[in-house]
């Protein structure tokens, strides 16, 4: 289903070695931004998803980076441009500049790092400030494979997500848990938002929230998210 | 903390790393923009294909999309909630799982919004109204930093987040909002260049094909009034090399711009159909006047029963000498297709001339509006005219149906004498509905049918001395061997001048003998004169009086074009035993008299003023 991506030896190499899918063979393009404190695993999360690779070595992202992945979802080929941002404060002006182009966000914290969880509220404020009003956000507690070092319980994560109005996942880039599901869910909620925004402007289908399927009558029903 | 987005605060290696990313992003963006452009083009084509577009009235008896006829009881169709057009059952797309449907165009419109991401930009604009559509944050950065290279790992620093940046946000947002995407601007540049070239080449088609028509003129008025040989078209294939200089003149820019689409079509049609037209050419007017414009001016059109009205406004700027005719709309037009009275077949355009100039330079056309008998044009047609010229002109606004291949159908016209038009009164400058009228018969519409007067002096020189040709019966007369017809073309006035009030004019003389032998002569060009004085002698030698009695002399006045091929015929007059068949009865009789006088008084100059048609 997905494009075969070469296994990369290291994150640094793959950063320059990846091929962008340069064809136009897709139906639409979503831009997604991954944000969160430094070292919560944003880059690893993206590499797992885009390249199905993982390296335990920590490489701090310089400013911004992105990867492109085309997925097949709800009978549509969707090209994702996923922006990976530096968590570090010093790059903040650059990273926040990219908020405005993003349709959806993955806000990530590290379940073994209390501080990263405490910063979620602030990151959320950042989104509200710099992004469009209907920005779709998924809260992701990463490193759920490190159960022994957990300091943020699933319950706290879920409560905070509910409080902020985000959907919530715990995931592990290392063990490839919920990575794909996170992205696919985000794509789905963006699609829903898309239909909503088109249909509220359009009296013909007001109230008929059909999700992404609305766009194509031939498409078979695919209501469930894969998580 | 930097107040604006730049990379100055970063180390060089960091900067280069980011620039690498920006370059990759730039590549992704340009692919995306290309894709979006294709999608939008496709939608546009679908709109054009579909008959009725939003915001236009129509009677609702046919499906707005496929044009199939809708019945009164069965197959009544239903109104699309999106565009409020009535469509048949085949042109509906049901949104899955519901009974909600849209017409094919509305559905596709929605699809394109999804596929292009337009929905997102529209949503975002609610919060950031100043946001560019396709913002590329990195674009500006890329412009200032140009040397990417390898970088190494940067040690991590503590990640705390502080709210302090929020304070700097409004200014920064503003700043970012004004970014013009770098790729975007380069692409736009390319696009505009490309479209410009397209426009030019389209206009070129138009010009060449019109000249092609024009250039068929000379052969026609060389004696054969009703028919032109088919080979005329072949002869004039060379006129396709016509330079597009006229198109580039500012005077015509507005026209060539606004009329790109229909012009191309008409041009092609006209070119294709020339051989066919040439057999019927001039049958209506039988007039040289027809030659100086396209086929429609030659009477090669069908007449519909003229109905309806046209709405337009006329304005004249005395500072810029610019006459603007703003064509707004027509209503209740006759159907161009007599047998197919459906709006689907309607292809309407409006054409204007500043009579008496019927040349292609003086023509302005709107784009073709389709699928309605109530077309909206909203186009401004412009002329550069001197005030002195303006008062001598009649504004002719005619409505045409662009028929299939062969035909134009005349849908009506309005003629306004500008001499009495008050351009300073605001009331006359506002929009008015004018009832369309059928083509006025000659002399009825007040438009002068003559194209000026040509002053000529003629003399028959017979070496055998004066003879009374009236006394010599034609059959028995021995032809003197070296007769000469001498002619002095003095000057002309009241010619249909260019809108700048001048002409580069010259005269062609063509003597057609009874055996169809033609003798042609041409005067030099007199430049930049509205009333040229050539004082040029034509001498047709080796003719006899008896030959001349059955011969005809045609004099035509031309406006010289730079490269010669697209000379414009201003008017012509004929002298001969049959008189001037081109003009009205009185001028016919007059030219007959002139001719007789010349022939009957050899070696004496006869002065005459010929009316040009």
In three-state form (DSSP H/G/I as H, E/B as E, the rest C), the secondary structure along chain A is CCCCCCCCCCHHHHHHHCCCCCCCCCCEEEEEEEEECCCCCHHHHHHHHHHCCCCCCCCCCCCEEEEEEEEEECCEEEEEEEEEECCCHHHHHHHHHCHHHCCEEEEEEECCCHHHHHCHHHHHHHHHHHCCCCCEEEEEEECCCCHHHCCCCHHHHHHHHHHHCCEEEECECCCCECHHHHHHHHHHHHHHHHHHHHHHCCHHHCCCCCHHHHHCCCCCCCCCCCC
Does the residue A47 lie in any domain?
Answer: yes
Nearest to A60 among B25, B127, B156 (CB): B156
Counted domains in chain A: 1
Report the pLDDT value the prediction gives residue B514, as an integer from 0 to 100: 82
Contact B137 A12 (CB under 8 A): no
Contact list in A for residue B16 (CB cut-off 8 A) is none
Alpha helices per DSSP H over B424-528: 426-429
Residue B19 confidence (pLDDT): 84
Q: Is residue A226 part of a domain?
A: no
Interchain CB distance below 8 Å, A20 and B159 = no
Structural domain contains residue A4:
no
Distance CA A192, CA A209 (A): 8
Three-state DSSP class for residue B321: coil
Q: What is chain A's alpha carbon radius of gyration, rounded to the nearest angstrom?
A: 17
Say whether B4 and A93 touch across the interface (CB within 8 A).
yes
Determine the Cα angle at A212 with ends A207 and A217, to 5°: 90
Inspect the interface and report whether the beta carbons of B124 and A100 lie closer than 8 Å.
yes
pLDDT score at B130: 67
How high is the pLDDT of residue B249? 38
Give residue B98's Cα distance to chain centre: 49
pLDDT for B85? 79
Q: Which residues of A touch B160 (CB under 8 A)?
A: 89, 115, 119
- Taking contacts as CB-CB distances below 8 angstroms, the residues of chain A near B127 are 132-133
Spatial distance between the Cα atoms of B60 and B70, rounded to a whole number of angstroms? 8
Among A132, A201, A218, the residue to mutate for chain B (most B Cβ within 10 A): A132
Contacts of B165 in chain A (CB under 8 A): 92-93, 96
Tokens of B136: 């590329």
Name the DSSP letter for residue B344: G
- Look up the CATH number of the domain holding residue A129: 3.40.50.300
C-alpha of A130 from chain center: 17
- Say if A202 falls within a structural domain: no
Q: Buried (b) or exposed (e) across B564-583, using 16+ Cβ within 10 A?
A: ebbbbbbbbbbbbeebbebb
Residue corresponding to tokens 């849908």: B411
pLDDT at position A123: 94
Inter-chain contact B172–A93, Cβ cutoff 8 Å? yes
Contact A125 B166 (CB under 8 A): yes
Give the pLDDT confidence of B10-65 residue by residue, as tens digits.
777 787 888 888 888 888 888 888 888 888 887 777 776 654 444 444 555 777 77
- B159–A88 C-beta distance less than 8 A: yes
B540 with B188: CB under 8 angstroms? no
Considering CB atoms only, which of A24, A38, A65 is closest to B156? A38
Task: Mark which residues 184-203 of A lie under 8 Å from B by CB.
Answer: 194, 197-198, 201-203
**Which chain B residues are Cβ-neighbours of A91 within 8 angstroms?**
10
* Residue B222 vs residue B571, higher pLDDT: B571
Categorize the per-residue pLDDT at B5 as very low, low, confident or very high, splitting at 50, 70 and 90: low
Cross-strand pairs, B507: B557
Predicted local confidence at residue A145, as pLDDT: 93
Interface contacts (A, B; CB < 8 Å): 175
Mean pLDDT of the region B183-209: 42
B119 to chain A, minimum CA–CA distance in Å?
7
Order of strands across the sheet that contains A104-110: A64-73, A76-85, A28-36, A104-110, A136-142, A167-170
CA distance B166 to chain A (A): 8
CA distances from B269 to B175, B300, B568 (A): 52, 13, 21
A211 falls within a domain: no
Q: Is A224 within the bounds of a domain?
A: no
The sign of the torsion formed by the CA atoms of A179, A185, A186, A191 equals positive
Give the nearest partner residue to A215 out of B5, B114, B153, using CB atoms.
B114
pLDDT average, residue stretch B530-554: 84
Select the more confidently predicted residue: B336 or B399: B399
Place of tokens 């073994």: A112
Instruction: Please give the Cα distance from B77 to B98 (Å, whole number).
Output: 19
pLDDT of residue B50: 56
Q: Which of A27, A80, A90 to probe by mutation at the B interface, max B CB count within 10 Å?
A: A90
Question: The tokens of A38 are what?
Answer: 């430094």
- The upper half-sphere exposure of residue A8, i.e. CA atoms within 13 Å in the direction of its Cβ, equals 23
Count CB atoms within 10 A of the CB of residue B65: 25
Q: What is the pLDDT of residue B504?
A: 85
Pairing state of beta strands A136-142 and B408-417? Answer: unpaired
Give B-chain residues touching A39 at CB under 8 angstroms. Answer: 156, 159
**Which residue ranges form the domains of chain B, and what is each CATH number?**
12-48+60-143 (3.30.40.10), 309-435 (2.60.40.150), 452-463+481-612 (2.60.40.150)
Q: Which residues of A97-123 are buried (b: 16+ CB within 10 A; e: fewer)?
A: bbbbbbbbbbbbbbbbbeebbebbeeb
* Higher-pLDDT residue of B253, B195: B195
CB contact (8 A) between residue B153 and residue A59: yes
Residues 6+ apart with CB under 8 A from A156: A117
Rounded to an integer, what distance in angstroms lies between the CA atom of residue A164 and that of residue A138? 10
Which residues, at least 6 apart from B95, have a Cβ–Cβ distance to it below 8 Å? Answer: A205, A208, A210, A214, A217, B101, B102
Nearest by CB to residue A134, choosing from B24, B123, B155, is B123
Which residue in the set B27, B38, B96 is minimally distant from A20, CB to CB? B27
Distance from CA of B213 to the nearest CA of A (A): 46
Supply the range of the domain harboring residue A50. Answer: 28-197
A122 vs B34, B161, B169: nearest CB: B161
A70 has a chain B CB within 8 A of its CB: no
- CB-CB under 8 Å, A88 with B157: yes
Q: Residue A207 domain-assigned?
A: no
Between B448 and B300, residue with greater pLDDT: B300
Please give chain A's pLDDT, 227 residues, in tens.
Answer: 444 444 333 333 333 333 444 566 788 899 999 999 999 999 999 999 999 999 888 888 888 999 999 998 888 899 999 999 999 888 888 888 889 889 999 999 999 999 999 999 999 999 998 898 888 999 999 999 999 999 999 999 999 999 999 999 999 999 999 999 999 999 999 999 888 887 765 443 333 333 333 333 333 334 334 44
Which chain A residues are within 8 Å of B93, Cβ to Cβ? 217
Residue contact B7–A94, C-beta within 8 A: yes
With a CB cutoff of 8 Å and minimum separation 6, the contacts of B410 are B296, B301, B302, B303, B304, B306, B398, B399, B400, B401, B439
Q: Cβ of A64 and B21 within 8 Å?
A: yes
pLDDT band at B475 (very low <50, low <70, confident <90, very high): very low
Q: What is the mean pLDDT of residues B281-303?
A: 44
**Cα distance from B127 to chain A (closest Cα, Å)?**
6
Interval B104-144: pLDDT, tens: 888 888 888 888 888 888 888 888 776 655 556 666 666 55
In chain B, the residue whose alpha carbon lies closest to the alpha carbon of A115 is B160
B389, two tokens? 């010229």
List the structure tokens of A108. 């990530």
Show the beta-strand stretches assigned E in B421-532: 432-435, 453-461, 483-493, 505-512, 518-522
């Amino acid at each position: 289903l997905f494009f075969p991506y070469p296994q990369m030896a290291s994150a640094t190499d793959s950063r320059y070695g990846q091929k962008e899918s340069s064809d136009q063979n897709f139906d639409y393009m979503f831009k997604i931004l991954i944000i969160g404190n430094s070292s919560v695993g944003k880059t690893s999360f993206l590499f797992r998803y885009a390249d199905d690779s993982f390296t335990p070595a920590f490489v701090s992202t310089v400013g911004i980076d992105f990867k492109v992945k085309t997925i097949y979802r709800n009978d549509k080929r969707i090209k994702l441009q996923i922006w990976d941002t530096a968590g570090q404060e010093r790059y903040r002006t650059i990273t926040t500049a990219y908020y405005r182009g993003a349709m959806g966000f993955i806000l990530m914290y590290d379940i073994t790092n209390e501080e990263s969880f405490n910063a979620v509220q602030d990151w959320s404020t950042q989104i509200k400030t710099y992004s469009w009003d209907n920005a779709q956000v998924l809260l992701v507690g990463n490193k759920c494979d490190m159960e022994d070092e957990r300091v943020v319980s699933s319950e706290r994560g879920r409560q905070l997500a509910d409080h902020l109005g985000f959907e919530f996942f715990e995931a592990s880039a290392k063990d490839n848990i919920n990575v794909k599901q996170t992205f696919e869910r985000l794509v789905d909620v963006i699609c829903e938002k898309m239909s909503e925004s088109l249909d509220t402007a359009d009296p013909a289908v007001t109230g008929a929230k059909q999700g992404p399927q609305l766009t194509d009558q031939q498409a078979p029903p695919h209501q469930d998210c894969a998580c | 903390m930097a107040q604006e987005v730049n990379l100055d605060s970063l180390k060089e290696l960091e900067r280069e790393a980011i620039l690498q990313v920006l370059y990759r992003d730039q590549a992704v963006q340009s692919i995306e923009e290309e894709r979006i452009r294709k999608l939008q083009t496709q939608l546009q084509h679908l709109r054009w294909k579909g008959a009725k577009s939003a915001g236009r009235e129509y009677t609702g008896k046919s499906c707005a999309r496929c044009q199939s006829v809708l019945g009164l009881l069965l197959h009544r169709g239903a109104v699309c909630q999106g565009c409020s057009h009535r469509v048949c059952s085949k042109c509906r797309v049901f949104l899955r799982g519901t009974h909600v449907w849209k017409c094919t165009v509305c559905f596709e419109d929605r699809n394109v919004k999804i596929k292009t991401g337009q929905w997102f930009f529209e949503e975002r604009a609610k919060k950031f109204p100043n946001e560019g559509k396709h913002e590329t944050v990195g674009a500006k950065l890329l412009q200032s930093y140009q040397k990417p290279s390898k970088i190494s790992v940067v040690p991590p620093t503590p990640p705390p987040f502080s709210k302090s940046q929020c304070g700097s946000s409004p200014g920064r947002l503003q700043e970012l909002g004004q970014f013009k995407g770098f790729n975007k601007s380069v692409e736009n540049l390319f696009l505009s260049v490309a479209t410009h070239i397209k426009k030019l080449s389209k206009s070129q088609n138009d010009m060449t094909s019109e000249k092609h028509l024009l250039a068929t003129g000379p052969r026609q008025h060389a004696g054969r009034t009703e028919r032109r040989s088919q080979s005329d078209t072949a002869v004039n294939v060379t006129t396709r090399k016509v330079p597009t200089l006229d198109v580039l003149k500012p005077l015509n820019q507005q026209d060539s711009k606004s009329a790109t689409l229909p012009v191309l079509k008409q041009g092609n049609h006209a070119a294709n159909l020339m051989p066919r037209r040439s057999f019927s050419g001039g049958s209506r007017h039988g007039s040289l006047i027809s030659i100086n414009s396209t086929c429609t001016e030659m009477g090669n059109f069908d007449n519909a029963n003229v109905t309806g009205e046209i709405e337009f406004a006329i304005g004249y700027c005395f500072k810029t000498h610019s006459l603007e005719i703003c064509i707004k709309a027509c209503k209740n037009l006759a159907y161009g297709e007599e047998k197919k009275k459906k709006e689907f077949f309607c292809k309407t355009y409006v054409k204007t001339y500043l009579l008496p100039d019927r040349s292609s330079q003086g023509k302005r056309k709107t784009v073709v509006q389709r699928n309605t008998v109530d077309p909206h044009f909203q186009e401004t047609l412009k002329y550069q005219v001197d005030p002195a010229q303006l008062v001598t002109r009649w504004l002719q606004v005619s409505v045409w149906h662009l028929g299939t291949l062969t035909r134009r159908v005349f849908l009506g016209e309005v003629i306004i004498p500008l001499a009495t038009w008050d351009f300073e009164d605001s009331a006359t400058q506002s929009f008015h509905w004018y009832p369309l009228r059928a083509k006025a018969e000659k002399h009825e519409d007040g438009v002068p049918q003559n194209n000026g007067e040509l002053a000529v002096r003629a003399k028959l020189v017979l070496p055998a001395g004066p003879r009374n040709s009236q006394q010599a019966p034609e059959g028995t007369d021995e032809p003197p061997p070296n007769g000469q017809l001498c002619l002095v073309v003095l000057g002309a006035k009241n010619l249909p001048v260019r809108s700048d009030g001048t002409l580069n004019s010259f005269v062609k003389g063509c003597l057609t003998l009874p055996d169809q032998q033609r003798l042609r002569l041409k005067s030099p060009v007199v430049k930049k004169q509205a009333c040229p004085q050539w004082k040029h002698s034509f001498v047709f030698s080796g003719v006899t009086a008896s030959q001349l009695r059955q011969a005809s002399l045609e004099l035509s006045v031309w406006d010289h074009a730079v490269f010669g091929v697209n000379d414009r015929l201003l008017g012509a007059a004929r002298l001969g035993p049959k008189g001037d068949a081109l003009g009205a009865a009185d001028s016919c009789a007059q030219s007959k008299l002139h001719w007789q006088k010349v022939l009957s008084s050899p070696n004496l100059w006869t002065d005459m003023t010929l009316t040009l048609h």
